[in-house]
């Protein structure tokens, strides 16, 4: 083995060890949460501060999944998760449609004050969401949308950041493909649906991940609009669950683990498009 190959091997080994250590640092809270969800109350506190905190326990009373069963029996976590899935998926689906079309229009169409409206859209990013919650709630209340999925979803369909990401991605899209389709008689909406959308999976996946994670973790707006138990989302349900005495930390960890699963799944399934989407959104103005 040559000196150059040995040097490269050593560098790669050090790099992978460093990356593995970094990954563990980021993952150890999740590992601790998962392991703690399999333990009873006594085991959780007895193992804190030792390596046992990250090791599966001896079989506790009721089995490893006793905390999960008790957590679902204590509150209606299934209902809360279903509400969050409807809320988040609704924003995701309608948001992808609206924001992608808005981004495409800003990237391709020459209409009056196009750059002005782009600046206005970007400027809305500096407005704290909490500052508009009161007038937004009054509007939703007057529409009769309190304690409805419509009231939860509609205010967040349009998103300035998503529009900006789509616009930046579409600026890099080859115009020659669109022109060839137009020569073949394809309409503008046909070009968008049949050509642009299928070839833009990376940016759709990137926006989908951002949207899902952001709104799956939403707390304040569902707290304001969903005042009835049947409409509570999972984050509100978890707060309600943790405020019920006595607090059983094994059950809390089980509920948190179940809550984390959808976010992990969507990232796992869309991760191969995620980096591609990010790398194609900043090369043009």
At 132-172, the pLDDT tens digits run 888 999 999 999 999 999 999 999 999 999 999 999 889 88
pTM of the full structure: 0.84
Q: Is the pLDDT of residue 48 over 80?
A: no
pLDDT at res. 283: 47
Query: Do residues 129 and 224 touch, judged by C-beta distance below 8 A?
Result: no
Closest CA to 278 of 205, 228, 171, 184: 205
DSSP character string of 195-216: IITTT-HHHHHHHHHHHHHHHH
Show Cβ contacts of residue 284 under 8 Å, excluding neighbours closer than 6 positions: 168, 171, 172
First-last CA distance in the chain: 48
pLDDT in tens, 32-44: 888 888 888 777 8
Please tell me the distance from the alpha carbon of residue 83 to that of residue 232, in angstroms, as a whole number.
7
pLDDT (0 to 100) of residue 63: 67
Rounded (to 5) percent helix, strand, coil in the chain: 75, 0, 25
For the chain, give every domain's residue range.
3-63, 75-279
Q: What is the mean pLDDT of residues 187-191?
A: 88
Which tops the pLDDT comparison, 272 or 68? 68
In this structure, the chain runs to a length of 285
Predicted confidence (pLDDT) at residue 52 exceeds the cutoff of 50 = yes
Q: How far apart are CA 5 and CA 8, in angstroms?
A: 5
CATH number of 75-279: 1.10.3720.10
> What is d(CA 284, CA 174) in angstroms, rounded to the nearest whole number?
13
């Amino acid at each position: 083995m040559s000196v150059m190959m040995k040097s490269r091997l050593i560098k790669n080994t050090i790099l992978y060890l460093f990356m593995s250590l970094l990954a563990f640092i980021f993952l150890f809270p999740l590992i601790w949460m998962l392991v703690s969800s399999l333990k009873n109350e006594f085991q959780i506190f007895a193992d804190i501060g030792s390596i046992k905190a990250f090791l599966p326990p001896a079989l506790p009373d009721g089995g490893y999944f006793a905390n999960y069963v008790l957590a679902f029996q204590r509150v209606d976590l299934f209902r809360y998760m279903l509400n969050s899935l409807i809320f988040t998926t609704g924003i995701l689906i309608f948001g992808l449609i609206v924001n992608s079309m808005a981004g495409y229009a800003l990237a391709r169409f020459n209409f009056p004050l196009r750059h002005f409206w782009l600046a206005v859209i970007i400027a809305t990013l500096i407005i704290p969401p909490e500052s508009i919650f009161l007038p937004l709630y009054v509007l939703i209340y007057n529409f009769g949308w309190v304690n409805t999925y419509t009231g939860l979803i509609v205010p967040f369909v349009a998103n300035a950041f998503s529009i900006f990401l789509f616009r930046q991605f579409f600026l890099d899209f080859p115009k020659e493909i669109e022109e060839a389709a137009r020569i073949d008689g394809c309409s503008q909406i046909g070009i968008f649906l049949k050509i642009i959308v299928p070839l833009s999976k990376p940016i759709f996946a990137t926006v989908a991940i951002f949207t899902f994670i952001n709104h799956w973790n939403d707390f304040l707006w569902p707290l304001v609009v969903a005042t009835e138990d049947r409409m509570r989302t999972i984050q509100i349900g978890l707060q309600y669950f943790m405020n019920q005495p006595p607090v059983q930390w094994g059950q809390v960890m089980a509920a948190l683990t179940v809550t984390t699963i959808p976010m992990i799944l969507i990232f796992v399934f869309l991760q191969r498009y995620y980096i591609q989407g990010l790398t194609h959104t900043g090369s043009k103005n």
